Amino acid sequence: MTHHPGVVRLDGFATTVLRRPRGTSVRRMPVRQHRWGSAVESNQLEYKEGWNPDTIYRSICAFANDFEDTGGGYIIVGVKEEHGHAVRPVLGVNPDSIEQIEKDMVGYNNLIRPYYQPRLFIEEIDRKTILVIKVTAGERRPYKVPDRITAKQKDFNYYIRYNSSSIVPKDEYERELINLANRTPFDDRGNDQISLRDISTALLRDFLVDVGSDLADQDLSGENLKGVLDQMDLLETTPEGFKVKNVAAMMFCEHPEKFFKMTQVEIVIFPKGRLQDPDNMIEVAPIRGCVPKMIRDTMNYLKTNVIQKKIHKPKDNERSVVKYNYPYQALEEAVVNSLYHRSYIEREPVEITIEPDKISILNFGGPNHTISMQAIREARMLRSRRYTNRRLGEFLKELDLTEGRATGIPTIQQKLQENGSPRATIETDEERTYFLIDIPCNPDCLGVQIKKECKKECKKECKKELSDLQVIILDVLSKDPTTTIPELAEKMGMSARKVSQELKFLREDFQVLKREGGRKNGYWVVCNY
């Protein structure tokens, strides 16, 4: 099933979004699917049996205020809900009423203070028409609306989400809303310094192919690129025109350090320990690039040079047990978390320190104050009400690099336990300026030597050999450099996503393939092969 990033998928089926020119603006954003019949995520999803603008606009206001910083939510009109579940078949909305609803929404949007415009989608489910109102966290929070938006006498109130309801905040909640909600997360802000020329169309297309989006088939040159970024909600509209959002550079810029200083991963090895012999250290070349590339390159380094297995044979057991000094998944979770949750305002890198008995991963800033110090000290699930880089997390979820459900630390602890390793420990300060996680080496693997990084002159000889599949792909592209990814997928008898992944390896890891020109007139260049 083709996945359209940003289109709500109901019951596992990708539905068709119909664009409507009046009163609404439809964009496609990277969101995870919701399934009918599953328990409702009540803080982000609300069902309405029919069109009732009074109650619907209270919910729009509550989602736009995004008090818990979860990214807003969806209001689905034309669906009955019972005990946290959607009832099938759906009730639907009269298709003849949709045009009038759109006209009414133009006026109702003007009553939100300050002005706010939700996004309207029309979906077809069970042969019925339903409305999906997508409400993102507003950039001009806090918002208020009339108690009854259709009444002549209008009394305005703030609204926030509380469990599955939209309520008027009282006392300290109202003060917190006014004081905190007017801060748009950094990754979702427009940036004057980023231009369309800074966005790599190759990185963008690779992402769209990886997530199975139909947008991957669009021309990404010139104004078309602006249109695609707009559909992905990566542009901020301004009176002067638009600004590219920070998250676009984090994900699709080859050199994001141009805009976010010291956006890199630094690895330092202390063969005898940092305290034992601080002068004896090995500094690895800084790892730079877009966030997915930094994750991938960091893990490639750790997998090649650090992670090692040891066969252990217990005395009273004939079967041998394979143990790793560091389980791959535990390190991966820690690396992803460090780049996902770090502050891109701070001019500090992610620091990875490797010692004989542990790996330490440090990022700045630290966990926010909605996470208790007790949870941090116990190194258990760190569930936050406010996410530093919510949009970045959405994109990483699309690539299956993170779950985004506060499961990172539990996963690390689980993988360490399965490997027979001690628990990881976490440290921060009272001001929450940093986050440090120590991942201990398995006791049975202590003393295993860390490999030194290859010197530049021997890297070519040290490269892994190409797989048979990769060799075939290069042969095909050598004979016909204009071959497209869909054509290559058809020839190879595999999915376009798999082909795209192999092309990424050939381009970035092995550096034996380049792409020249745009999508329509571009071609492949096979080199160093």
**Percentage of the chain lying above the pLDDT 90 cut:** 36
- The pLDDT of residue 465 is 66
Tokens linked to 119: 């996004």
> Could you report the per-residue pLDDT of 244-260, keeping only the tens digit for each?
999 999 999 999 999 99
Window from 59-73, 259-273, 359-373 with minimum mean pLDDT: 359-373
The kind and range of the H/E element at 235 are: strand 235-238
Mean pLDDT for the stretch of residues 231-239: 84
CATH of 9-179, one of 1.10.10, 1.10.3470, 2.10.260, 3.30.950: 3.30.950
Q: How do the domains of the chain map onto residue ranges? A: 9-179, 185-260, 265-453, 459-529
Mean pLDDT for the stretch of residues 403-418: 79
Smallest CA-to-CA distance from 133 within 125, 143, 148, 123 is with 123
Q: Which CATH class is domain 459-529?
A: mainly alpha
How far is 173 from 274, CA to CA, in rounded Å? 46
Give the model's confidence band at 382: pLDDT under 50 very low, under 70 low, under 90 confident, else very high. Answer: low
Angle 180-390-219 (CA atoms, 0-180°, nearest 5)?
Answer: 130
How far is 90 from 81, CA to CA, in rounded Å? 10
How far is 28 from 5, CA to CA, in rounded Å? 6
- The pLDDT of residue 54 is 95
> Could you report the per-residue pLDDT of 305-324, keeping only the tens digit for each?
899 888 777 777 777 778 89
Question: Within 13 A of 477's CA, how many CA atoms are on the CB side?
Answer: 28
- The pLDDT of residue 509 is 74
- The pLDDT of residue 311 is 79
pLDDT beyond 80 at 379:
no
| Of 266 and 492, more confident | 266
Handedness of CA 244, 351, 340, 199 (dihedral sign): positive
How far is 348 from 356, CA to CA, in rounded Å? 25
Q: Which fold has domain 265-453?
A: Heat Shock Protein 90 (3.30.565)
Mean pLDDT for the stretch of residues 67-93: 87
Window from 69-83, 148-162, 275-289, 395-409 with minimum mean pLDDT: 395-409
- The pLDDT of residue 59 is 95
pTM greater than 0.85 (yes/no): no
Give the model's confidence band at 22: pLDDT under 50 very low, under 70 low, under 90 confident, else very high. Answer: very low
- The pLDDT of residue 406 is 53
Burial of 76 (0-12, 13-18, 19+ CB in 10 A): buried
- Ranges of H-type helices in 110-199: 171-180
| Of 144 and 380, more confident | 144
Same fold? 265-453, 459-529:
no
Smallest CA-to-CA distance from 323 within 396, 390, 416, 437 is with 416
